[in-house]
Amino acid sequence: MGFLDWVTKSKKAKRVLSSGSSNTQLPCFEQLEPRVLLSADALMSPELLLVEPHYEAAIVVDLEVGSEISEHRSQLAETESPAGSEESKGQKTDECGLEASVLDTDSAGEKLSERLALGASDITASTLQLKTENSELKTDISLHTSNFTLQTSVLGPAQNRGPPTEIVFIDSSLNRDFELENAVQSGVVVSVFDADQDGIQHITGVLSSHTNLSAIHIISHGAPGQLFLGTTILDSNSIDQNTESLAIWGQALTAEGDMLLYGCSVGQGRLGSKFVQQLSTLTGADVAASDNPTGDVGLGGDWLLEKAFGVINSRSYAIYSFDGLLDAGDLDASFGTDGIVTVDFNGASDRARDVAMQDDGKIVVVGSSINGTPRDTAENYTSFVLRYHANGTIDNDFAVDGKASDTDSRANAVALQSDGKIVVGGLFWNGTHDEFAAWRYNVDGSPDLAFAGTGKVTTVVASSGNQVSSVLVQPDGKIVLGGYTQS
């Protein structure tokens, strides 16, 4: 439909035409700034669309040629542009033989001049004219090689698209080509934010100059309650630090405007629901997010945004050409088997609850295993602490065969002290009810007897349902436990 291949991770989009043994890469147009709307088929189709000049940014023409072509620049310059010919009058010819009779891009002119690579002696542009002041676009490009000639002409007024009504933001770390199906419609603009920069700052900068948008789409990686935006993560913890930016996001939308988040599982579970609601409250937007993997159906993904806060009126995009998932990262094939390690603790149902990384790269995992009929208490559970090498193999030098454990207990959280000792928090069944519990292990996995004499401390906070869910070690070595009780 014309709005294809609108972002790639590569800095240069290339077309290669071949004839005989020679390969010549033809010029192509690539979007650099957030307010240019170009067709990737510009050279092969009589359609090149620009938004109104007010929303324009630089156009880039990149030419790449082999070294064998550059060796005969001067000869082709003479044959393609003979002195005194009518075609060469009024034209400027560079030393490599590329001629541009008119180059008028108004506000984008300087950037185009800087980025125009005049290095292809066998490519001649007899006329390259871009008129944006009166929304008129004229091009007449002739590309010549010794065995091949391609001529493309475009003449006529560019479509007047007017101010944008939707903006699509995309993380540049997505190294696939995207296609927006049926997205050739007035007012859709694409903006790519650098994966190595602050994505929140980029989005805020773009939206600060827009109003009356009906929808903002953000295509990036995600996790439950988290949106990965370049070098920053927007979640319930950081959202209060970005209230001013989020207010600008909301001001760019209409009163009924929508914000659609495509990252994997952003709206999943309690964390996801809380984040979606917070984002809606701070922006005033109706927010929709996915509560499962987003992306290729073959990988278990889909393009549905199942979790919503408010009434969503905008259509979400289904990008069926994308063959990946918008999760927070790819599995490391060097870790375990295809990035996954599984361990059978005692032949029962095992569940990991928390993980910590040591300075030497070893990985500490805590959790619990059912050794009887499951109950809401710690009875019939065994807590465990496992340590892995960086490649995912069990560290057999830790405790007994890489595992430390305690019966009638569950481990929910772990923290590492500066001396390498391991602090674990959870709950312990005392025969009547659960108690807050904390364990401390030495570096080798043995109980630290300097910690309460046994390596374990239990505390009764309420009459029942005591449970530690988080652990923090202060700089002075004191240990803080967080959790809850049930009554």
How far CA 217 is from CA of 165, 213, 286, 289, in Å, comes to 11, 11, 12, 10
Above 90 in pLDDT, residue 217? yes
pLDDT digits (tens, 9 = 90+) for 258-284: 999 999 899 998 889 999 999 999 999
Residue 434 backbone phi and psi in degrees, to 5: -80, 150
CA distance 457 to 437: 6
How far CA 480 is from CA of 15, 55, 208, 423, 473, in Å, comes to 60, 53, 42, 10, 6
What value does the mean pLDDT take over residues 248-259?
96
| Cα 334-336-338 angle, rounded to 5 deg | 65
Other Cβ atoms closer than 10 A to 147: 11
Q: Which tops the pLDDT comparison, 268 or 423?
A: 423
Provide the pLDDT for residue 58: 28
Bridge partners for 170 per DSSP:
192, 219
pLDDT digits (tens, 9 = 90+) for 90-107: 333 333 332 322 323 333
Q: Are the C-beta atoms of residues 366 and 412 closer than 8 Å to each other?
A: yes
Q: Which tops the pLDDT comparison, 484 or 442?
A: 442
Q: Are the C-beta atoms of residues 365 and 383 closer than 8 Å to each other?
A: no
Provide the pLDDT for residue 80: 43
What value does the mean pLDDT take over residues 161-186?
63
Q: Which tops the pLDDT comparison, 330 or 149?
A: 330
Query: How high does pLDDT run on average in the chain?
Result: 70
Residue 459's H or E segment, with its range, is: strand 456-459
Above 90 in pLDDT, residue 49? no
Above 80 in pLDDT, residue 407? yes
Provide the pLDDT for residue 135: 39
Provide the pLDDT for residue 487: 66
What value does the mean pLDDT take over residues 287-316?
89
464 alpha carbon, distance to own chain's centre: 44
Provide the pLDDT for residue 320: 66
- Which amino acid would we find at residue 403? K
Provide the pLDDT for residue 303: 87
Least confident of 75-79, 163-167, 356-360: 75-79
* Among 383, 433, 417, CA closest to 403: 383
CATH second-level architecture of 350-484? Beta Barrel (2.40)
Provide the pLDDT for residue 194: 87
For the entire predicted model, the pTM comes to: 0.41
Ranges of each domain in the chain:
15-157, 166-309, 350-484
CA distance 158 to 53: 11
Above 50 in pLDDT, residue 38? no
- Which amino acid would we find at residue 409? S
Q: Are the C-beta atoms of residues 287 and 310 closer than 8 Å to each other?
A: yes
Provide the pLDDT for residue 247: 97
CA distance 471 to 425: 6
Provide the pLDDT for residue 132: 38
How far CA 168 is from CA of 38, 189, 220, 308, 326, in Å, comes to 14, 6, 11, 18, 15
Q: Are the C-beta atoms of residues 355 and 362 closer than 8 Å to each other?
A: no
The percent of residues in the chain predicted with pLDDT above 90, rounded, is: 37
Length reported for the chain:
487
Provide the pLDDT for residue 446: 97
